[in-house]
């Protein structure tokens, strides 16, 4: 569906993209992760035709990016770029005309899209009177009004409460069920874990890791992560390393990669001799993978 090959873009002295290559299969949800300044927005802007790359190529269904491919892509930007004085129906009708939909099919597409995002009862409500969650849903309806094959979602649930976030997630899943390919960028790692078939992690414009969650877990050679609270962290690190545990810090937490599953008494026994305030066991999650891939660890130590 989408193939990005050796894409590069520089702004002055800053290399925003450096030979970025990735591909999306039809009907999959692909999560693109990376810290601020990693190149995600630049890549999306090139994909949408808003920027020209210095080198590289993007193909949509085998076609280079051009005015002819614009109908293949729908975009839900991070900010709701909606006219606050229009109704939901007027908003979608305006966009449908821009996309060149025939007059006879516009109302049908409006009805379908409003139903898809559960806004049928708000068809004639002014956008400015909608809640934040409803405006995000309308933004998604706007992205699919022309039946695109690829939908780009930039931070789709940012700023939403948990109930509205779940609604948006269900809508994204429904796109997949319809065979639509979804490219998702977000800082919410649980969003990616719940929704995405595959995940790409980029930094400084380069793709550092890619795969499904199970495959990415193999990047961390451990059975689980153990988090320890103690007032003797140097002693805990020394003991952990003596047992083959790899120490890591996640924020203020001192953690260890443990190569095999151990029961709690055995774990405590490994740290005998120091005061342990608490100990907890956690499965390897996307948070651990993301930090390991994106953080610079020249000597791989805490």
What does the pLDDT read at residue 223? 95
Q: Is residue 239 part of a domain?
A: yes
Residue with tokens 């990005």: 4
Residue 297 has a pLDDT of 56
Instruction: Determine the Cα–Cα distance for residues 41 and 64; give it in Å rounded to an integer.
Output: 20
Cβ–Cβ under 8 Å, residues 125 and 91 = no
- Residue 95: closest CA among 45, 151, 145, 50: 145
How many beta carbons lie within 10 A of that of residue 120, not counting itself? Answer: 14
**Pairing outcome for strands 198-203 and 29-33:** parallel
State whether 107 and 250 are in the same domain. no
Residue 297 maps to a domain: no
How many domains, in total, are found in the chain? 2
Is the whole model's pTM more than 0.85, yes or no? yes
State whether 94 and 188 are in the same domain: yes
Domain around 129: 2-216
Q: What per-residue confidence (pLDDT) applies to 48?
A: 86
Q: What's the pLDDT score for residue 36?
A: 87
User: Same domain, yes or no, for 54 and 193?
Assistant: yes
Contact 19, 7 (CB under 8 A): yes
Mean pLDDT for each consecutive 10-residue tract of the chain (302 residues)? Answer: 94 94 95 91 89 94 87 90 95 95 94 93 96 91 95 87 87 92 92 95 95 95 96 96 96 94 93 93 95 72 39
- CATH number, domain containing residue 37: 3.40.50.300
Verify that 113 and 246 share a domain, yes or no. no
């Amino acid at each position: 569906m989408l193939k990005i090959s050796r894409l590069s873009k520089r702004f002055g002295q800053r290399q925003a993209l450096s030979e970025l290559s990735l591909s999306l299969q039809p009907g999959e949800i692909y999560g693109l992760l990376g810290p601020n300044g990693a190149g995600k927005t630049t890549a999306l802007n090139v994909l949408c035709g808003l920027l020209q790359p210095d080198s590289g190529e993007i193909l949509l269904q085998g076609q280079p990016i051009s005015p002819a491919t614009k109908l293949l892509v729908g975009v839900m930007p991070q900010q709701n770029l909606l006219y606050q004085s229009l109704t939901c129906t007027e908003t979608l009708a305006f966009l449908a005309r821009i996309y060149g939909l025939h007059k006879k099919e516009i109302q049908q597409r409006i009805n379908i899209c409003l139903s898809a995002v559960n806004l049928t009862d708000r068809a004639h409500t002014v956008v400015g009177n909608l809640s934040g969650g409803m405006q995000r849903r309308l933004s998604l309806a706007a992205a699919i009004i022309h039946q695109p094959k690829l939908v780009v979602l930039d931070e789709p649930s940012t700023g939403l409460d948990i109930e509205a976030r779940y609604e948006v997630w269900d809508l994204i899943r429904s796109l997949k069920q319809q065979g639509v390919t979804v490219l998702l960028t977000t800082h919410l790692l649980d969003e990616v874990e719940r929704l995405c078939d595959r995940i790409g992690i980029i930094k400084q414009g380069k793709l550092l890791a890619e795969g499904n969650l199970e495959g990415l877990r193999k990047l961390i050679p451990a059975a689980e992560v153990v988090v320890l609270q103690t007032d003797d962290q140097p002693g805990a690190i020394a003991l952990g390393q003596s047992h083959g545990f790899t120490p890591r810090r996640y924020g203020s937490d001192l953690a260890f990669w443990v190569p095999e599953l151990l029961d709690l008494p055995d774990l405590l026994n490994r740290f005998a001799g120091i005061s342990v305030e608490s100990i907890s066991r956690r499965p390897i999650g996307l948070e651990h993978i993301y930090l390991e891939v994106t953080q610079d660890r020249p000597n791989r130590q805490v």
